Chain A
Amino acid sequence: QVQLVQSGAEVKKPGASVKVSCKTSGYTFTGYYMHWVRQAPGQGLEWMGRINPNSGGTNYVQKFQGRVTMTRDTSISTAYMELSRLRSDDTAVYYCARATYYYFSGSMPYDALDIWGQGTMVTVSS
């Protein structure tokens, strides 16, 4: 079945970098965008950006520009999200999520995050 399996929890010091992996199975990796969403403790969902696994093209939220890099390795159907210059307020659960496009006649396609990874807790603490 379709699965996204993320790497394990990380503890990092302020100023360090973290790289979270998202290994996919059960579908054609290059056929679906991969999004990254984070959730700080007790808070809501925050969209970080997305990658087109086919082309490698990315879109990032402005607030993360220069700190976030989303990449992929198509040979192993895995997406990565690296966040640098970590701060304490980067402490959160980070999710990868597959986007599926839905097509209706007469309109542009719609996309939604239909499959999610289990989440990776990243703790930033000195």
Chain B
Amino acid sequence: DIQMTQSPSSLSASVGDRVTITCRASQSISSYVNWYQQKPGKAPKLLIYAALSLQSGVPSRFSGSGSGTDFTLTISSLQPEDFATYYCQQSYSTPQTFGQGTKLEIK
């Protein structure tokens, strides 16, 4: 199975900050990475698919990059509604696997 390792596990930041979350795959997975946002008590929401494509309706302050084994999710200017937990997921092969999550908290 492909392991997805996210870093950091948690992050404190302020409104307006630029934030980057990293995900590393245990083997090369081309661009088969998706990113999700989850708020407490809610289902995850798709932000980015295929490593860098923005899902319809998602604000442009979210962006994704990377290929092979290293991927990043960047939020260019944090807004109050962005404080949540973020997960990467690989869809290169089954079983599809998620990273362990990054909790983004208000500083």
A interface vs B, CB < 8 Å?
35, 37, 44-47, 49-50, 59, 61-62, 95, 97, 102, 104, 107, 110-114, 116-119
Contact = CB atoms under 8 A, between A and B. Distances in A.
B8 to A, nearest CB: 14
Interface in B78-107: 87, 89, 91, 94-101
Given A44-B99, A49-B95, 11 more contacts: A45-B44, A45-B89, A46-B98, A62-B95, A102-B50, A102-B53, A107-B30, A110-B49, A113-B44, A113-B89, A118-B43
B98 A45 contact: yes
A61 B44 contact: no
Q: Which of A37, A50, A62, A107 has the most CB of B within 10 A?
A: A37
A92 to B, nearest CB: 13
Nearest to B53: A102
A37 B43 CA distance: 10
Contacts of A104: 50
B49 A102 contact: yes
B95 A61 contact: yes
A35 B44 CA distance: 13
Q: Label chain A's interface by main secondary structure.
A: strand
Interface residues of B, number: 25
A112 B50 contact: yes
Given A44-B87, A45-B87, A102-B53, A114 B98 contact: no
Interface of B: 30-32, 34, 36, 38, 43-46, 49-50, 53, 55, 87, 89, 91, 94-101
Contact of A47 (B43, B46, B95, B101): B95
Contact of A113 (B32, B34, B94): B34
B97 A47 contact: yes
A45 B30 contact: no
Nearest to B32: A110
Contacts of B95: 47, 49, 59, 61-62
A6 to B, nearest CB: 10
A79 to B, nearest CB: 15
